[in-house]
Amino acid sequence: MNNKDLYNYILGIADNSLILGQRLGELCGHGPTLETDIAGTNISLDLIGQTRSYYQYAAKIQGEGKSEDDIAFLRLERDYKNVLLVEQPNTHFGYVMGRQYLFDVYHLLLMQGLANSADETLAAIAKKGIKEVSYHKRFSGDWVKRLGDGTEESNEKMQEAIDDLWTYTDELFDLTESDEKMISEGIGVDASAFKNQYYDEVTALLKEANLQVPEGKYFIRGGKKGVHSEHMGYLLADLQYMQRTYPNMEW
Amino acid sequence: MTQAQTAHIDPHLIPTLEEVSDPEIPVLTVLDLGVIREAVEQNGLIKIKLTPTYSGCPAMDVIGDDLTAAFAKQGKKVEVDLVLAPAWSTDWISEKGLRKMEEYGIARPLKESADKEALLGNKKLVKCTNCGSTNTHLVSQFGSTACKALFQCDDCQEPFDYFKCLK
Ligand SMILES: [Zn+2]
């Protein structure tokens, strides 16, 4: 088996959780209500926890004596493999919930596939993750419905968020070379195979939420190849600050 | 299945394990919580397999340190391994643990289907830890820690935590 491909494959999944976890973490103490604030940080904690399991495994696969922290904090922007969707900023609460929901539906389908991976460690992380991600999806889906089917203003804002974020959804189903190799070995999950299922599910909820399903066919991609949006540098500056300023610091 | 049926724990280690509690729910020992998957002593080294309740549960690092400290008092060395499979379930909390949890003010997890109904707000099923009434409502799906949701009693107005069912 090619370790480099497995390493890349793990990072492709883990970086999504890290970056979305970081985005949600930014809201700590800034949520619109105490309950949503706590929910955001709880979801962040789940995602960062999953990230730690993936990175610990990736560090072992890499075999260069690096730690999970090295992988999280000491890479350059181009080396992060997360999709563009998860790095989009917390523009307003509608964006936060819209981004979360559009990712959660994908995330759960991916975890359900990964639970059957030929790689035991990945299957174990996924099985644990399924329980958590189902809960995230229930929460974010409820909010998309509540805002979409709420007041005129909340509907307008939720629609704006969905319209903007929609352009990042197609990238979720792109396969990198490492993805394809891992799929052929029964380790990876073929995300392109559940694309229709994804859009069916999202479409049904948007309709229930009194929201228009965007019809645009223009999609933005690049994150999976390391080509990120202008927001990513700022996010990393925040994320990596301590390790860059005080190398090797521990607490 | 209960913890006792599935976990392999050397009986002579139990008294010390019972001294270590969950830092977030201090009335529960690690045995009550069902997070010890294995504890054996081999050639003077105690090997413990610990499973997290939630992936990012910060209590796990603390529990690992506390286990090491508890056995260090007896001059014994501990090796703690974090294992993810099989994934922890609220079914692994012992009956004694569930009772202590309720006395502490946290409502015990309902069965899976009832839990779903309660968290979706479809049915009133979660029992108030203050007055015992099930006339309660969900305030937030996420509570003070990842494992809990926040409820409030409509009879006595008490706000309380509910330990979510995890399967
Ligand atoms: Zn009451």
Sort residue B121 into left (φ over 0), alpha (ψ -120 to 50) or beta: left
Q: In this complex, is the C-beta atom of A42 within 8 Å of any C-beta atom belonging to chain B?
A: yes
Judgement on whether residues B11 and B79 belong to the same structural domain of the protein: yes
Nearest-angstrom CA–CA distance, B97 and B110: 14
Residue B20 DSSP one-character state? -
Whether A193 contacts A175, CB under 8 Å: no
Q: CATH code at B11?
A: 3.30.300.130
Q: Any chain B CB within 8 A of the CB of A48? A: yes
Q: Which long-range contacts (CB under 8 A, 24 or more apart) does B111-114 make?
A: B111/B165, B112/B165, B112/B167, B114/B165
CB contact under 8 A, A39 and B142: yes
Measure B118 CA to ligand 1 centroid, in angstroms: 16
> Does residue B113 belong to any structural domain of this protein?
yes
B118 shares a domain with B86: no
CA distance B12 to chain A (A): 30
The answer to whether B58 contacts A127, with C-beta atoms less than 8 Å apart, is no
Residues B34 and B72 reside in one and the same domain: yes
**B99 lies in some domain:** no
Q: Looking at the structure, do residues B74 and B17 belong to the same domain, yes or no? A: yes
B101 within some domain: no
Q: Does a structural domain hold residue B98?
A: no
Verify that B71 and B112 share a domain, yes or no: no
Which distant-in-sequence residues (6+ apart) come within 8 Å of B61 by Cβ? none
**Quick check: A133 and A111 in contact, CB under 8 A?**
yes
Distance to chain A for B42, nearest Cα, Å: 26
Which band of pLDDT confidence, cut at 50, 70 and 90, is reported for residue B1?
very low
Count of domains observed in chain B: 2
Residue B71 domain flag: yes
| Cβ contacts of B10-19, under 8 Å, gap ≥ 24 | B10/B39, B10/B40, B10/B41, B12/B41, B13/B39, B13/B40, B13/B41, B13/B46, B16/B70, B16/B71, B16/B74, B17/B67, B17/B70, B19/B70
Residue of A nearest to B115 (CA): A135
Do B147 and B69 lie in one domain? The reply is no
Lowest mean pLDDT among A61-65, A189-193, B110-114: B110-114
pLDDT tens per residue, range A98-153: 999 999 999 999 999 999 999 999 999 999 999 899 999 999 999 999 999 999 99
The domain ranges of chain A are 3-245
How many helices (H) and strands (E) would you count in chain B?
Answer: 6, 8
H-run or E-run covering B64: helix B59-72
Q: DSSP readout, A205-247?
A: HHHHTT-PPP--------GGGT---THHHHHHHHHHHHHHHST
Q: Which structural domain, as residue segments, surrounds residue B128?
A: 106-163
Q: What is the pLDDT of residue B60?
A: 87
Interchain CB contact of A12 with B (< 8 Å): no
Say yes or no to pLDDT of A28 above 50: yes
pLDDT tens-digit series, residues B111-157: 888 888 888 777 889 999 999 999 999 988 888 788 899 999 999 99
Answer yes or no: do B54 and A127 touch at CB < 8 A: no
Contacts of B53 (CB under 8 A, 6+ apart): B33, B35, B59, B60, B88, B146, B147, B166
A-chain residues near B163 (CB < 8 A)? none
In a domain, B117, yes or no: yes
- State the smallest CA–CA distance between residue A165 and chain B in angstroms: 25
Q: Which one of B35, B37, B55 would you mutate to disrupt binding with A, by most A Cβ within 10 Å of its Cβ? A: B55
Q: Are residues B29 and B80 in the same domain?
A: yes
| Contact criterion met (CB < 8 Å) for B54 and A45 | yes
Same domain, residue pair B88 and B110: no
Q: Look up the CATH architecture of domain A3-245.
A: Up-down Bundle (1.20)
Which residues in chain B have Cβ-Cβ distances shorter than 8 Å to A129? 55
